[in-house]
Amino acid sequence: MMFSRRAVAAASARTRHRIFASSSSSSLLSSRISNSNSHFIHHRQQHLQQRAWLTSSLNEPTLFPSANADAAIDGSATVVSSADKNLYDDAMLRSDVRTMGALLGDAIARHHGEDVLEKVERLRGMAKVSRAADTKDSARLAPMVDFVEKLGADELVVISRAFAHFLGVANAAEAHQRSRRLRMDSAKEGKEGMLGALHETKRDSTAGVLSQFLREGADGKGATTRDDLYDSLVSQTVEIVLTAHPTQVNRRTLLEKHGRVQRILNDADSIRETGTPYKKGLLDDALRREIASIWQTDEVSRVKPSPQSEAERGTLVIETVLWESLPGFLRRLDATMKDAMGEGHGLPLTASPFKFASWMGGDRDGNPNVTPDVTREVCLVNRIKAARLLEGDVRELMSLISGNPPRKSFDSEAMDRVRERSGAESRAPFRSYLHPVAEKLKKTGDWAEQELEKMHKSTDPSKHVEKVSTTNILPEEVYLSKDEIMEELLTVHQSLCDTGNAVVADGRLADIIRKVSAFGLTLVPLDVRQESDRHSEALDCVTKYLGLGSYLQWDEGARVNWITQQLQSRRPLLRAGTWNEAGNEDFFSATAKDTLETFQMISEQHEASLGAYVISQCTSASDILAVLLLQRDAGVESPLRVVPLFETLDDLNGAASTMDRLFSIPAYVGSLEGRKQEVMIGYSDSAKDAGRLAASWAQYETQLELARVAEEHSVDLVYFHGKGGTVGRGGNPNTFDAIVNHAPGTVNGQFRVTEQGEMINQNFGYSDRAERTLDLYTAAVLAEQHTDRPLPTKEWKDMMDKLSEISCDAYRRIVREDERFVPYFRAATPEMELSNLNIGSRPAKRKASGGVESLRAIPWIFAWTQTRLNLPTWLGVGEAINEVLAGKDEETLRTMYKEWGTFRTTIDLVEMILSKSDSSIARHYENVLVSDPKAAELGSEIREIHDATERAIMDLSDHKTLSENDHLLLRLMAVRNPYVDCLNVLQAETLKRLRQSSEGSTEEEVLKDALLTTITGVANGMGNTG
């Protein structure tokens, strides 16, 4: 009966019933079906083999295929050695992707018909043939182009969605595969007698780093002692700053669905060997429903997010993942430290290896949507969330520690305090002690909601709905400082330890204490960021109002002298609100009022609501002093630390001189808490300004020079690294090596870095991945402190200066000086259309009237990623390498690559990006979209430079092919390339039609959907956006 049901299922492509049974191979199935059906079955098998997204067995798509079926399906797989298979050729991953592709194909056929699915398959088949040609000639795309040109606008949308969604679910499967490998590695270590809390066999895990240094010390090969490692681990801090930079193209709804897919895959792994057919069938059904729902979900964001919604999305990863994953990781770290260094060398309870902050709701640089009220609102919402989370934890804790220690002579001041609050006769003293804590946390959340309601009522009474409660909660009645609640929690912990209940104390209570240490009462403090010109404009209005002349007309010396005098005076320059008083309209511009209101808002915030004040486009000492003065004048009791951001090549080169002058001003140094100064290095804009190679060297040298200046002035310098997810914006997929290869003496156990866009979800969106990311950062910062990395020799520095000059000139010669470049860039990429994506609240340009020079780094990278040219990452690099290799310094350059890790990392990253690039795709965009002959001529020249750069990189690295040793990357790109090729051809056709369509027409709206879908798909396929 069961086999006959399968035969029926095979006979109808549209009717696919769920079979709650384990799979059988197609050969076994065929032997059980009557001869009269054999010819049909054979035909159907051929049809399914042609449809790669469907399984090549007659069984329904399942997460639990039989071994024979799996082998049959994968008959086309490349044969590799078993050692290589262990590295990258994972049968389970292929099976998962295949199953989800089959389910996606089912959904497409069910909702749009078999004919649409056949068109998808035809295009995919053409792409595979095209790739097999192994040529850089864009003519290989001709059959695909001819096919796509005949599609209607609605078909462009549906077929683009098919490829975009497939790459989306493939990403989910690959993400799950990383988690699966982590579990397998841990299990293997456990079987081999290792602790298995963290990964001792991985060089980039904290356990691996400890093992390496302790082993070297025991063998006499290293000078790092156990105490050195312990002191480093308990004092080092990594601060992750979540930013609202718009690089996450997937809607939150789809991210959640992809998350559910990964949980289903995880559940499938847990029952693969022991689960019943019924349980397996339930998971197959759950996956089918999720994939069907994904297909019917709109992937296009229809509304541009507000800064508040961006902040809501950003903190979601804290609430849903890191709130539990961080203490979970710290528990693993504690166990690893004790296992490696001894029982007395665990992680102190109040140590803070990690902190988190956010720019979401505080970053107003070029974003007029971030107003003072927006920052007020986000700060209050963060307090509400933190209070509710902590309240829930404390109430849970109350149910766990309901015991009553025996009344004997415990010499415990902590227990005395517990009994004093709970009452001498309490039968559950810990619960009684914690009850007021829980109630006060509840009141803290209620107070923040009350303040939020007041703010909404004052800003927009028409939208305000009065709540029933009229109770007015005062700030004195709630927690405003984390020290207060931390003291109470530590009291309970100490009292439990003193009364023989240490095992209880180190359970859930320890987790809560570590949460308070990391997240406090604000979840994440907000940084405020604004460009320096806004502060200068505000001070110009102030000096004119005071009759002192124009601040903007003063030279740097006059500005510094005047601000220094004001800092030493206690008299405010302005009364609060002066800028809004009648009669002062002519003195204060709208932007100056907004700036002054921002500082007024800062003065109103409670402890830890805000973190740093970052000054973008900082070029001088007065830019930094101005922010300190504006805070003082607004009455900020505890001024935010002022952080200059040096981001262009000129800014980086002048940073040491700027800070040297600043540190020579006693009034400023006296304002530094603990004589600690934070400086932000901008990786994105410096690369956009000068090219990747010149920017990398400037960043390296600037950090060394700043460290020297700080040491001369006895200032403790902390670097804030403003990196994006892509290589073109300073990112590096190898977090461990990236940190270890920083300039020597610049990390020193303190590492602050931005995490943004799609990288937030990739690194912290799921608990096991979040813990692995935390482990990577911990291991890297620890290893950096104890890895000997000599400074580059004078010969190497001179060589880097030469390479930097050549590459910068070559980069700017095209991007800045060639009049053909802007028309080419805007015609050959979707840069002009990216503003329709609705993935961020801020404009794509700092100034609406500006050209490419005012374009932000994210859309700059984003546009080139879409066309697969990735120009910003490699332009200028090949010219520099070729010139040196052709001259007398060839051997010096080759030695640098072999022996200097920092330089090799830079070159290897460029090589990795080139291996993901495809000049034939870029040429296709030119053929379809570039009509200006001069612009097309430039495109040809750029592609020649691209190919020459590939040859130069392979010459220097001594590789026969790009990234030849990165087997995982090569295999992933080989699988993805045909699908991304389809999306590129679809995108170019859509752009052509869109630019020719009538504005406001129905077709234009359909084509916009098609375009945005292809953009999302390409981003998913390439693994990044901006």
Residues noted as catalytic: 245, 688
Would you say 291 and 110 are in contact if contact means Cβ atoms under 8 Å apart?
Answer: no
Nearest to 322 by CA among 777, 790, 939: 777
Would you say 175 and 769 are in contact if contact means Cβ atoms under 8 Å apart?
Answer: yes
Q: How far is CA 580 from CA 584, 597, 631, 892, 995, in A?
A: 7, 10, 18, 64, 46
Rounded to whole angstroms, how far apart are CA atoms 830 and 907?
Answer: 28
Rounded to whole angstroms, how far apart are CA atoms 537 and 628?
Answer: 15
Would you say 772 and 325 are in contact if contact means Cβ atoms under 8 Å apart?
Answer: no
- For the chain, the straight-line distance linking the first and the last C-alpha, in angstroms and rounded, comes to 55
Rounded to whole angstroms, how far apart are CA atoms 95 and 66?
Answer: 10
Helix (H) or strand (E) holding 837: none
Helices (H), 886-999: 890-899, 901-916, 919-929, 933-957, 967-996
User: Phi and psi of 410, rounded to 5°?
Assistant: -80, 125
Would you say 647 and 676 are in contact if contact means Cβ atoms under 8 Å apart?
Answer: no
Rounded to whole angstroms, how far apart are CA atoms 265 and 245?
Answer: 30
Rounded to whole angstroms, how far apart are CA atoms 584 and 376?
Answer: 26
Nearest to 514 by CA among 641, 351, 391, 359: 351
Rounded to whole angstroms, how far apart are CA atoms 372 and 601?
Answer: 6
Would you say 634 and 573 are in contact if contact means Cβ atoms under 8 Å apart?
Answer: no
Rounded to whole angstroms, how far apart are CA atoms 566 and 546?
Answer: 13
Residues 6+ apart with CB under 8 A from 1013: 157, 160, 161, 164, 299, 300
Burial of residue 712 (number of CB atoms within 10 Å: 0-12, 13-18, 19+) = exposed
Rounded to whole angstroms, how far apart are CA atoms 1017 and 156?
Answer: 13
Q: How many CB atoms lie under 10 A from the CB of residue 99?
A: 28
Would you say 927 and 142 are in contact if contact means Cβ atoms under 8 Å apart?
Answer: no
Residues 6+ apart with CB under 8 A from 195: 189, 207, 335, 336, 339
Rounded to whole angstroms, how far apart are CA atoms 975 and 967?
Answer: 12
| 775 Cα distance to chain centroid | 16
Question: What are 432's two structure tokens?
Answer: 């009684």
Residues 6+ apart with CB under 8 A from 590: none
Would you give the DSSP letter of residue 709? H
Rounded to whole angstroms, how far apart are CA atoms 382 and 525?
Answer: 8
Nearest to 868 by CA among 1016, 980, 732: 980
DSSP codes of every residue in 423-449: -TT-SSHHHHHHHHHHHHHHHHHHHHH
Nearest to 645 by CA among 691, 611, 684: 684
Say what angle helices 510-519 and 482-498 make with each other, to 10 degrees.
160
Question: What are 502's two structure tokens?
Answer: 């240490």
Question: What are 292's two structure tokens?
Answer: 């069907």
Nearest to 969 by CA among 922, 1013, 1019, 908: 908
